[in-house]
Structure 1
Amino acid sequence: MLAVYNLIQLLGLVFLWPFLLLLVVCKAKYRLRIPARLGFGLSRLAGKIPAGRPRIWIHALSVGEVSSSVTLVHAIREHFPDAVLLFSAATSSGETFARSSKGLPVDLFVPFPLDVYPVVRRFVKTLRPDLFLLVETDFWPNFLHEIVAENIAALLVNGRISQESYRKYSFFQAFFLPMFRSFTFLAMQRQEDVEKMVSLGVAAGKVKNLGNLKYDAILPKMGGSHVSRKDLGIDAARPLLIAGSTHDGEEEMLCRVFQELVGQFPDLFLLLAPRNIERASAVLKLVRNKGLRVSTRSGGSKADDQLMVLDTMGELAGLYRLSNIAFIGGSLVAQGGHNPLEPAAAGIPVLFGHHMEDFADVVEDMLAAGCAIQAGSENELLLSIAAYLKDVAKRKEKGDAARQFVESRRGVNMRHIDLIRQVLS
């Protein structure tokens, strides 16, 4: 299959080389990038690599994969301080993001070779890593074949197989399976990813479920605020709904939902925490115009208040533990949502709207684990909150599931570090 791939590639290059040459000449973003990926300047780069130290080459496809790798790169630097860390990204946007990531502790950024056999062979022999780490995806037959030929250990980290990818890999199994088998180990995000990889023909002993690297970047630290309900002026017996990191347009909807709810649950208290505290005064005005009794965190609460606007910085994550239900802002309007793991870590049932694009993987996992509810409209949100307020046992069950969800995902980086240590030893 590799021979067929290279034959097709050769025929393609025969017809496409004038177009590629035109790209290099006319497009600034390709003028340096394509020659670099063909190996021009490689010897000069290699001369910057210190001799006598283990080399780890980390490769990510684009911005998303680079972002996923950041905490792991820091962990590798911490646990393997003598290693030379080489980093590459396949796309120009990924490389730009990697170079701009504050303090990414790598020794050298290197281009990733175009998957032409002589080019790949020169790159691998020149850079000669002791370990190659591929983040999530970007499988290239010649490159992985050469890694195996040079007896270099390779790890796939943060691997994931969507249903669409699984169908593609299954249909072209003869093409993809040799690449998957090139890896010493394949560290997948979820058990279902492990099962898919094994069903494709990879030996079960090579495939591990180590979790999603993104979690170590966004998991909240334990401990935190010592603020009590008494400090806020909220009676301990009152059900408390916290709407965290809300955006313009959401507070209006949340106030309408709240007004419906207080008809059934007159003691309900709502804490509104706008994402930008500069908006606190505008939110306060909006709530007052609704005829609701409202205070601010800085101003203090009275016993008959119904709402509080959080107008202080750095307190929200620690306040979630005081609530009975948490709503994640930026999700009823198209803002991409915010971190749902903060209330989940405190054992609080979590709700959010449909706009959680910035945390899509986390949301998918939480919904699959049954520890969160996604409400697509005001009415759905109203019904979901009401159901929780009516059923204390259900609330506790969902909160416990949320806490367990978070705890089971701690330590993803260390599991990867242990695997890297095993391979390097």
Structure 2
Amino acid sequence: MVNLTGVVLKSAAYFSKKLKEFTEGRRDLFPKLEKAIDPSKDHIWVHAASLGEFEMAVPVLKMLKNKYPEHKIIVSFFSPSGYKNKKKHPLVDHFTYLPLDSKKNARKFLDIIQPEMAFFIKYDFWPNFLNELKAGKVRTFLVSGVFRKDQAFFKIYGKWMRSALEAFEHFFVQNKESEELLNSIGFENVTVAGDTRFDRVAAQIEADNKIDFIEDFKDDQLLVVCGSTWPEDEDLMLDFINNSSSIKFIIAPHEIKPEKVEKLRRHISIPVIKYSEKEDRNLKNYRVLILDTIGLLGRAYSYANIAYVGGAAGNTGLHNVLEPATFGIPILIGRNFEKFPEAQRLRQLAGLFSVKDKDEFTAIMTSLYTDTDFRRKTGMISGHFINSNTGATRILEEYL
């Protein structure tokens, strides 16, 4: 019988770049996996839907490497964005795409990797894979899980999905609501452990965050780092930036295509320089630094006095507010953050401010800039929020 999903995806790939990557990435998946996997070794399988879930998995991967140093760790992704960006990582022995969820694919995948344990991060529940794990009696865990009452598991018609959840030896969930929902359908093997992302970002403080050129650029002045910005975010900020004479700004656009970076640059009227042209320049002479590169934003937040996190001014989705919060600084975001509980909680605590337009952005930024005590207290709230929510990885480790 032809797998209808596979046929549809292959056809759709002609019209979508992302779907093309999705299908091409899975081409010859099993032969590649058979070549890469040594059947004489012990393996642990960790599945992450995409890049965001992989970041959540990093503290878990570190713990697993320390606890089971002889085991090889295999990480699978469902989306191309995760796989493309993490083809190598010191904590991972093998990266692979997850095959489409059919009984045949699940059985073949598990026959090749033969995992002793399997960890699913947050969600991405694939019934055939879970059923095969259950049949093979593989210890299987959900880490930083989140459940909502509108999911199929909790509907009258969701019995077949609920049965797949029986594969999990234990559920480590983020909140009480998830625990109660699982209890309501008969699962008592649940622990509210929290979100491993807090462990991930808290570890950043202990890392080496030094960046010499940012120190030169900051020049002991107040610095605002604007991370993962989209054009809608930049529209909020530009008036304030262009009228600031004693504040420095780092802007890290989400998209760093040259034409988009140049468009942003043309709208900045104070001295501005790009990362790619910083060599042999006196960075102290510039007021705005555009990071037209990737991999520096997390460390750049360590130099910030205030942060703006992009994505919520439009509808692309709010980016990670926990990264700047771990450094104990005030955070500004746009107004569309209803689906981001950590931002909602931080706003309720008054460690984060949501702004709907450029006037609100200017008003909040002016208050934070001029009132040192207000800025310090707001930042302390952010830092405490991170510190009080760490420990999810430790709870998992203690169970294992």
Query: For this structure pair, what is the TM-score category when the shorter chain's length is used for normalisation?
Result: 0.5 to 0.7
Within 5 Å, give how 1:17-416 maps onto structure 2. 30=23, 33=26, 41=31, 45=34, 48-51=37-40, 53-91=41-79, 93=80, 96-97=83-84, 100-103=87-90, 105-107=92-94, 109=96, 112=99, 114-116=101-103, 120-121=106-107, 123-125=109-111, 127-162=113-148, 164-165=150-151, 169-203=154-188, 205-213=189-197, 216=200, 220-222=204-206, 242-245=223-226, 249=235, 251-255=237-241, 270-275=246-251, 283-285=269-271, 298=284, 309=287, 317-320=301-304, 323=305, 326-328=306-308, 330=310, 340-341=321-322, 344-354=325-335, 362-367=342-347, 369-385=349-365, 398-416=378-396
Aligned identity (percent) is 17
Q: Does the C-alpha gap of structure 1 residues 244 and 208 become closer, same or farther in structure 2, counting only changes over 3 Å?
A: same
Larger Rg: 1
RMSD, matched Cα: 4.9
Matched-pair contact (CA < 8 Å) for 1:280–1:311:
no
- Cα distance, 1:211 vs structure 2: 1.3
Residues 139-162 of structure 1: per-residue CA shift (max 9 Å, x gap): 233432332232221011231224
- SS across alignment from 1:210: coil
- Cα distance, 1:45 vs structure 2: 1.3
Q: What CA distance in whole angstroms lies between the structure 1 residues aligned with 2:114 and 2:99?
A: 13
Q: What CA distance in whole angstroms lies between the structure 1 residues aligned with 2:193 and 2:140?
A: 16
Residues 167-206 of structure 1: per-residue CA shift (max 9 Å, x gap): 7633444233322232111122334333333334310x43
Q: Does the C-alpha gap of structure 1 residues 170 and 54 become closer, same or farther in structure 2, counting only changes over 3 Å?
A: same
Matched-pair contact (CA < 8 Å) for 1:328–1:352:
yes
Aligned pair count reads 357
Q: What CA distance in whole angstroms lies between the structure 1 residues aligned with 2:123 and 2:359?
A: 40
Matched-pair contact (CA < 8 Å) for 1:191–1:209:
no
Which residue type is aligned with residue 92 of structure 2? P
Residues 320-374 of structure 1: per-residue CA shift (max 9 Å, x gap): 4xx5xx24164686697765446533444322234789x9565344335542111
Which residue type is aligned with residue 209 of structure 1? A
- Cα distance, 1:83 vs structure 2: 0.4
1:3 maps to which residue? none
- SS across alignment from 1:181: helix
Residues 369-388 of structure 1: per-residue CA shift (max 9 Å, x gap): 54211111123234445676
- Cα distance, 1:65 vs structure 2: 3.3
Q: Does the C-alpha gap of structure 1 residues 194 and 17 become closer, same or farther in structure 2, counting only changes over 3 Å?
A: closer
Which residue type is aligned with residue 331 of structure 2? V
- SS across alignment from 2:155: helix
- SS across alignment from 1:105: coil
Matched-pair contact (CA < 8 Å) for 2:55–2:200:
no
Matched-pair contact (CA < 8 Å) for 1:245–1:273:
yes
Which residue type is aligned with residue 271 of structure 1? I
Q: Does the C-alpha gap of structure 1 residues 174 and 64 become closer, same or farther in structure 2, counting only changes over 3 Å?
A: same
Q: Does the C-alpha gap of structure 1 residues 201 and 310 become closer, same or farther in structure 2, counting only changes over 3 Å?
A: same
Q: Does the C-alpha gap of structure 1 residues 88 and 349 become closer, same or farther in structure 2, counting only changes over 3 Å?
A: closer
Q: Does the C-alpha gap of structure 1 residues 132 and 339 become closer, same or farther in structure 2, counting only changes over 3 Å?
A: closer
- Cα distance, 1:56 vs structure 2: 0.9
TM-score using structure 2 length: 0.66
Q: Does the C-alpha gap of structure 1 residues 193 and 256 become closer, same or farther in structure 2, counting only changes over 3 Å?
A: farther
Q: What CA distance in whole angstroms lies between the structure 2 residues aligned with 1:18 and 1:339?
A: 36
Q: What CA distance in whole angstroms lies between the structure 2 residues aligned with 1:70 and 1:192?
A: 25
Matched-pair contact (CA < 8 Å) for 2:48–2:54:
yes
